Structures are given as C-alpha cells and as structure tokens.
C-alpha cells in the first residue's frame, strides 16, 4: 500500500531540512542525500516508501519543497533548512517588493527587530500577498508584511531564490518593513 503523500512529504521535510540524523541519514554540504540511501534508511527506521512514491510527492507537491538532481540520484529540500547547508544559490536582484506572512501576535517584535531566520538559515519571502497570507495562516491570525526589497538590494543586502521560487535573505531590518493587510 502506498504511503499517504502528505505524511511522506512531512517526513521528507523532517529528514531533509531538520533532522537527517533521525534515520541516520547524512546530507552533503549542499543538503543533498542519495535517494537510494534515503529510502533504505527510512525503511529501516519504519517509514516505508518506494522510489515511485518519492517521485510522486516531488512531482505533485504544490509547494515544490524538494529538488531532485539532474542525474536523478540525489534529493534535497529546496529551502527551509535548520541544519547547516550551503545551497549554492547565486545572489539575484529581487522584485521591488516582496512579502512575508506571519501571525499578528509577532508583528510588534518584528517591527522592532526586523525579520530574522529564527530556527532556519534564512528569512523566507514570497513574491505575492496570497502566498504570504497562506504562510501567515499556518501560525495564527495572518498578517502580511511588505518588504522594500529594492531598497534593501540597493543597500547591499543579498537575495537568493530557491528552486521552488521562495525568496531568501539573511535578515530584513525593520526600516524595510510595512504592514499590509492579509488576503
């Protein structure tokens, strides 16, 4: 019986972003894991799935959380790591405005200190309000922060875009933030 795709996606997020050691998996410096090793270690740890199951989750994930290498032998999380990895992304010029979804209870602290990566390696930003609203909704009553990414870029702050389209930066100082209504 094929595993539930949502549960498999959550499991893959856990071991490829946060806790590879939970199944004895070793990620390389760029976050890649050998797919055959991932499957074997997952099965040994009690989470059975096939390569076809993995390919289905990768292909159908609406958030495109995972990237398979060009040779089809390795997989990594596209972004969102709490373990140290260097994704090898090249700095890019961002759109003039980006967005960050959060819960209303965090706004005061964010407006005082800016956006910080918290447990992740970088701050995640969206190119549209709807996506940011959905992200904020996962944390409570959503609110969207507008980021003046053009001004940040002019000031020398760097932006990267993950394989799944999420914009990444190390920190967003409060002077580049404005509150915008969620959708």
CATH at 40: 1.10.10.970
Look at residue 182 in the predicted model and tell me its pLDDT. Answer: 65
Exposed e or buried b for every residue in 68-106, given b needs 16+ CB within 10 A?
beeeeebbbbbbbbebebebebeeeebbebbbbbbeeeb
One pLDDT digit (tens) per residue for the chain, 183 residues: 779 999 999 999 999 999 999 999 999 999 999 999 999 999 999 999 999 999 999 999 878 889 999 999 999 998 888 888 888 889 999 999 999 999 999 999 999 999 999 878 899 999 999 999 998 998 889 999 999 999 999 999 999 999 888 999 999 999 999 998 666
Which DSSP state fits 127? S
User: What's residue 123's pLDDT?
Assistant: 95
The predicted structure's pLDDT at residue 96:
98
102's tokens? 């959060």
Give domain status of residue 91, yes or no. Answer: no
Query: Is 144 inside any structural domain?
Result: yes
Domain that holds residue 37: 5-77
pLDDT value for 80: 82
Are both 65 and 115 inside the same structural domain?
Answer: no
Structure tokens at 50: 């096939």
Separation of alpha carbons 17 and 2, rounded Å: 23
Mark whether 13 and 54 lie in a shared domain. yes
**Based on the domain organization, do 175 and 108 belong to the same domain?**
yes
pLDDT of residue 67: 93
Contact 33, 74 (CB under 8 A): yes
87 occurs within a structural domain:
no
pLDDT value at residue 170: 94
CATH number at residue 103: 3.20.170.30
DSSP 126: B
Domain count for the chain = 2
Cα(99)–Cα(146) distance, integer angstroms: 5
Q: Is the dihedral of CA 161, 148, 156, 171 positive or negative?
A: negative
**pLDDT per residue as tens digits for the range 114-161:** 999 987 889 999 999 999 999 899 888 999 999 999 999 999 999 999
């Amino acid at each position: 019986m094929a595993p539930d795709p949502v549960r498999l996606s959550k499991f893959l997020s856990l071991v490829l972003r946060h806790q590879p050691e939970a199944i004895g998996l070793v990620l390389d410096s760029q976050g890649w894991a050998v797919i055959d090793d991932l499957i074997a270690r997952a099965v040994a740890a009690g989470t059975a799935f096939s390569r076809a199951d993995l390919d289905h989750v990768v292909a159908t994930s609406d958030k495109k959380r995972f990237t398979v290498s060009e040779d089809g032998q390795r997989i990594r999380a596209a972004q969102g790591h709490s373990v140290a990895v260097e994704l090898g992304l090249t700095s890019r010029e961002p759109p003039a405005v980006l967005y960050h979804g959060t819960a209303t209870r965090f706004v005061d602290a964010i407006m005082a200190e800016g956006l910080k990566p918290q447990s992740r390696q970088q701050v995640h930003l969206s190119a549209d309000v709807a996506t940011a609203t959905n992200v904020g909704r996962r944390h409570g009553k959503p609110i969207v922060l507008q980021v003046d990414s053009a001004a940040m870029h002019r000031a020398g702050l760097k932006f990267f875009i993950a394989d799944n389209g999420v914009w990444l930066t190390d920190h967003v100082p409060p002077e580049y933030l404005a509150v915008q209504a969620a959708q």
